[in-house]
Amino acid sequence: MSIWSDKGHFINGIWTGANGATPVENPTDHSIIAHISAGSTRDVDSAVAAAKTAWPAWMATPVAERAALLARVAELIEARQDDLARAITFEVGMPLKLAKMIQVGLPLQSFQNTSRIASAFPFERKVGNSMVLQEAVGVVAAITPWNYPLHQIAAKVAPALAAGCTVVLKPADLAPLNALLLADIFEAAGAPAGIFNVVTGSGAKIGLHLATHPDVDMISFTGSTRTGATLAREASAQIKRVSLELGGKSAALVLEDADIVKAVKATVNACFLNSGQTCSALTRLIVPASRKDEAVEIAREATRAFVLGDPMDPATRLGPVISEKQREGIRRLIRTAADEGGTLVTGGAEAPDGLDQGYFVKPTIFADVIPDSTLAQEEVFGPVLAILTASDDDDAVAIANNSRYGLSGSVWAGSSERATAAARLIRTGQIEINGGRFNALAPFGGFKQSGYGRELGVYGIEEFVEPKALQF
Ligand code: ADP
């Protein structure tokens, strides 16, 4: 069943260059759900030229009009949310209900919020005898991954356009359909030609060509730390602005007076969301040594709710992971965790019963994980939770900070004062206190090797402007 007929790339408001060369696979049953076009460096050059040509007029467009376009896009996302969610379930494998709520809900908020915030953003501000303009950076290369395909696109495209930048997007080859559906939406919304362009194809070939293109002023990237490092290196050679949202190994700290049932259940849910393929997933659960057995039992029990199966089936809580390569990498890490002394609580590396088709991995938990072991240090990007123990609050913080990553975290304690005191010492970009909800207006981004730059809310727009002072 094909859910998209190839129209090629969306360049300068026109669909072009269709070659249907790349199949898109459904990770649930290996069926081919679409063919998309393999872009060439020439396609990238055309898209960058279109974005460059469109930029001056878009930057000069009153902010109210730019905001109005984002609002129209939001309305169309809302109107088409079922199609978008279905495409995500087919290409990523996330259960449909969750895909609609999170994978479409968040980008909808990004476009709505950014539209609203843009109207009040200080694009011009008087400072003493200066007028400080916050001018659009220029042409932005947006390179995005497959795990939350529409969310990660929206978190870049909405603020970049609000700021007056124009965009060339290179979505992930494993899950490109949402980028193309979004191009359809921009077309329907009557977006000026060239402000938003999409070229599909290989990362190493056209992604790199796009990022290093001399007419691209900024790279906004979400993906692996390895590719992020390559792009940071390339950007430095050209003194090009770069914003990187990379990997994570986030910790949930359960302090000794916390509501342990609530804390452990919430952590298991956060770890297994989207089959563990979430950069901010809480993948290390740090509990007081005295409460380890209790925590292990709660975690084992909570895992029972994660019924594996077809993500189109409403009973399913856990779909497959994205690809064979991903599944094999996860299995390898599960075997390593056992070899390095972790105690398997539930799950394991072997294929789940009755699910031989599809890239399924059992939700897996290890206890007695040593802070320096592979499982405690490496990002798994699969449904695998590591339980570690700490002797007191300071020890828990030290274990949490014993990571080259610094994306997210959570702290649970009897009082928010105690939780906040620990949170202040944790080196990550965001931390939930006693189950605090995700806030789409708060800055999202990482410390350390989780990257630099922030997305969402007003912080997202700030990434895409250059302050310029006019002295009077
Ligand atoms: P993941 O492991 O999540 O796929 P990647 O970092 O490999 O993470 O991919 C994220 C995005 O970066 C994808 O759109 C991919 O095609 C692109 N990409 C991969 N390698 C490169 C590269 N060398 N240069 C530019 N983009 C790349």
Please tell me the distance between residue 167's alpha carbon and the centre of ligand 1 in angstroms. Answer: 17
Ligand 1, residues 36, 41, 91, 143: which to mutate, most atoms within 8 A of Cβ? 143
Whether the complex's predicted ipTM surpasses the cut of 0.95: yes
Domain with CATH 3.40.605.10 in the chain: 10-246+450-471
pLDDT at res. 1: 78
Catalytic-labelled residue, pool 25, 245, 256, 432: 245
Yes or no: domain 250-440 corresponds to CATH 3.40.50.720: no
Domain with CATH 3.40.309.10 in the chain: 250-440
Atom number, ligand 1, closest to the C-alpha of residue 170: 14
Please tell me the distance between residue 227's alpha carbon and the centre of ligand 1 in angstroms. Answer: 6
pLDDT at res. 306: 97
What is the tens place of the pLDDT at every residue in 240-282?
999 999 999 999 999 999 999 999 999 999 999 999 999 999 9
What is the tens place of the pLDDT at every residue in 298-317?
999 999 999 999 999 999 99
Q: Which residues of the chain have pLDDT under 70?
A: none
pLDDT at res. 356: 84
Fold of 10-246+450-471: Aldehyde Dehydrogenase; Chain A, domain 1 (3.40.605)
Please tell me the distance between residue 218's alpha carbon and the centre of ligand 1 in angstroms. Answer: 16
pLDDT at res. 73: 98
Question: Three-class SS string for the chain?
Answer: CCCECCCCEEECCEEECCCCCEEEECCCCCCEEEEECCCCHHHHHHHHHHHHHHHHHHHHCCHHHHHHHHHHHHHHHHHCHHHHHHHHHHHHCCCHHHHHHHHHHHHHHHHHHHHHHHHHCCCEEEECCEEEEEEECCEEEEECCCCCHHHHHHHHHHHHHHHCCEEEEECCCCCCHHHHHHHHHHHHCCCCCCCEEECCCCHHHHHHHHHCCCCCCEEEEECCHHHHHHHHHHHHHCCCEEEEECCCCEEEEECCCCCHHHHHHHHHHHHHHHHHCCCCCEEEEEEEHHHHHHHHHHHHHHHCCCCECCCCCCCCCECCCCCHHHHHHHHHHHHHHHHCCCEEEECCCCCCCCCCCCCCCCCEEEECCCCCCHHHHCCCCCCEEEEEEECCHHHHHHHHHCCCEECCEEEECCCHHHHHHHHHHCCCCCCEECCCCCCCCCCECCEECCEECCECHHHHHHCCEEEEEEEC
Task: Note the pTM of the prediction, 2 decimals.
Answer: 0.98
Question: Residue 245 catalytic?
Answer: yes
